[in-house]
Amino acid sequence: MALDIASSRPETLPRRSRPFALILAAASLPMFMATLDNLVMTNALPVLHAQMGASVAELQWFVNAYTLSFAGAILIASALGDRFGRRTVFAIGIAVFGIGSVLAALSTDPGQLIAARALQGLGGAAVMPLSLALLSGAVTPARRPLAIGIWGGISGLGVAVGPLVGGAIMEGWDWQAIFWINVPVAIVAIPLALLVLRNDFGARARIDVPGAILAAAGVLALVHAIVRGNDDGWDSIGVIAELVLGGLLVVAFVAWQARTAAPLVPLRLFRDRSFSVTNVIGFAFSFGTFGSVFILIQYLQVVQGSTPFEAALQTTPWTLAPMFVAPIAGFLAPRVGTRALMVVGLALQAVALAWIAAIMSPDTAYASLVVPFLMAGIGMALVFAPSATALLATLGLVDHAKASGVNSTVRELGVALGTAVMTAMFVGAGGALTPDLYVDAARPAVFTGAAVLLAATLVSVLLPAGRAEKATDAAAPAETDEKARLQPVG
């Protein structure tokens, strides 16, 4: 038995004196930095291909080294936060992310950059889930839905504007500046978090090291096998063996979580329909969307001859739409429900990607891409913010860190597997980073992304409606939530 203590130490500012905006900034600024780095490199990939001589496989590892280390460490970072203090681990994560950014900027060959990106991912793993848990614990239950909605919008914005920020930097500076910009953000974010956020604790259980090793090894084996499948042959003994090994390790991880006393992923959470369906949607959304973005950003540069900044500007109907639509989605969610918004958002994404794949050619006019880009951006906004609310809608505060950790892991796995699978399809179809060999190989990959998002649309119908409760009904859960802070947990 362990005692869940929401605030264990005296803090510089009493809870009620902390302005809502300051709390939101302290929790969200580092999260924005970490999510930005999911796709900030996409516009730099053709440049890195030319300047570093990086192969197509190395280019995707510049993305996947980050997402895989992120995904592999999120669950254990959440557990460490519960045990040693969420703010403490959050601040350490920001520092590690900053150090990884410095090493990435100083890299001189693909191997060094891949290793630095992996270190960034480890830092980001402590930032993303603990950001949401700290924010949830720092605001009153009445303001928590608003805070989570804004947090989701900022998270989506970080991912969405990554290509734009990367392209703008590439136009004015060298690619190294993509990473240098993280350093001042980290320097500001650490003292801000220590001053404003409370050092909340969760259940101080033993850290599930075997579970973390099984999960990380299983996912790494699966992604590595997919990445090398085209080069070594999908029927080669090595690739088949690695796929089987990865699958067995994932099964072993689930079996271990069912029997260990302090699991990284409490399987009881999956009895909650909203939590389970949101995680399925999160994986499919990341797989289909970001795997396609990896292909499409390079299409604008390799095939249509745009500079990194021009490609970034051309995708602004997609990347900046969430900035305007996400607040509207947050306003509408309590009235129309999170399910309705997510169904519409996923459907828009699926149609948009299918539209782009259908018209993609070496001489496609940019004007014909504007409408599907805008549809994709609106769809993205309608998924990001409501999904954070749906994830935690019916869970107690004590479960927020692990629930957010599970969801962040699932979404990062979607990014990694989506990038790996769609790149494997691209290379397998004879694709190369040349104008004459790109489009025919890219088209089936983007159609695949659209199909995955269509499947996610159908699954999202299973979500609870997610409308706001009446004021009289909301009082009981809020009171229970506050009491749960001091209740023993197993």
Tens of pLDDT, residue by residue over 409-444, are 788 778 778 887 888 888 888 877 788 788 888 999
Q: What is the pLDDT of residue 249?
A: 92
Q: What is the pLDDT of residue 473?
A: 41
| Residue bearing the bigger pLDDT, 330 or 175 | 175
Res 153 pLDDT > 90? no
Residue 488 per-residue DSSP state = E
Mean pLDDT of the chain: 79
Averaged pLDDT, 40-57: 75
- How confident is residue 12, by pLDDT bands cut at 50, 70 and 90? very low
Res 476 pLDDT > 70? no
Averaged pLDDT, 239-250: 90
Find the range with the poorest average confidence among 11-25, 175-189, 207-221.
11-25
Q: What is the pLDDT of residue 451?
A: 95
Contact 1, 488 (CB under 8 A): yes
Averaged pLDDT, 385-406: 72
Return the structure tokens found at 141.
Answer: 């239950």
> In Å, what is the CA distance from 46 to each residue of 123, 162, 164, 351?
26, 16, 15, 28
- How confident is residue 92, by pLDDT bands cut at 50, 70 and 90? very high
Q: What is the pLDDT of residue 15?
A: 46
Contact 372, 402 (CB under 8 A): no
Q: What is the dihedral of CA 417, 355, 299, 107, to 10 degrees?
A: -30
| Residue bearing the bigger pLDDT, 43 or 73 | 73
Pick from 98-102, 134-138, 376-380, 477-481 the range whose average pLDDT is largest.
Answer: 98-102
Q: What is the pLDDT of residue 397?
A: 64
pLDDT tens figures, 264-281: 778 888 888 888 898 999
Residue with tokens 């990284």: 264
Percentage of residues in the chain with pLDDT exceeding 90? 20
Averaged pLDDT, 127-137: 80
Q: What is the pLDDT of residue 9?
A: 41
Scanning 303-399, the segments in alpha helix (DSSP H) are 308-314, 316-319, 321-336, 338-359, 367-392
Res 37 pLDDT > 70? yes
> In Å, what is the CA distance from 144 to each residue of 28, 367, 379?
14, 41, 24
- How confident is residue 368, by pLDDT bands cut at 50, 70 and 90? very high
CATH number of the structural domain 14-208+260-481: 1.20.1250.20
Find the range with the poorest average confidence among 154-163, 346-355, 427-436, 480-489.
480-489
- How many CB atoms sit inside 10 A of residue 267's CB? 10
Q: What is the pLDDT of residue 30?
A: 87
Pick from 149-158, 213-222, 388-397 the range whose average pLDDT is largest.
Answer: 213-222
The domain spans of the chain are 14-208+260-481, 209-259
Contact 145, 281 (CB under 8 A): no
Averaged pLDDT, 75-82: 80
| Residue bearing the bigger pLDDT, 383 or 227 | 383
Return the structure tokens found at 341.
Answer: 């918004």
Averaged pLDDT, 98-112: 91
Res 470 pLDDT > 70? no
Residue 489 per-residue DSSP state = E
Cα Dmax for the chain: 65
Q: What is the pLDDT of residue 467?
A: 66
Q: What is the pLDDT of residue 407?
A: 80
| Residue bearing the bigger pLDDT, 386 or 99 | 99
Res 177 pLDDT > 90? no
Percentage of residues in the chain with pLDDT exceeding 70? 83
| Residue bearing the bigger pLDDT, 339 or 319 | 339
pLDDT tens figures, 285-326: 989 988 887 788 778 888 888 877 787 788 888 877 777 787
Length of the chain: 490
Q: What is the pLDDT of residue 159?
A: 67
Res 60 pLDDT > 90? no
pTM for this entry = 0.70
Q: What is the pLDDT of residue 453?
A: 95
Res 237 pLDDT > 80? yes
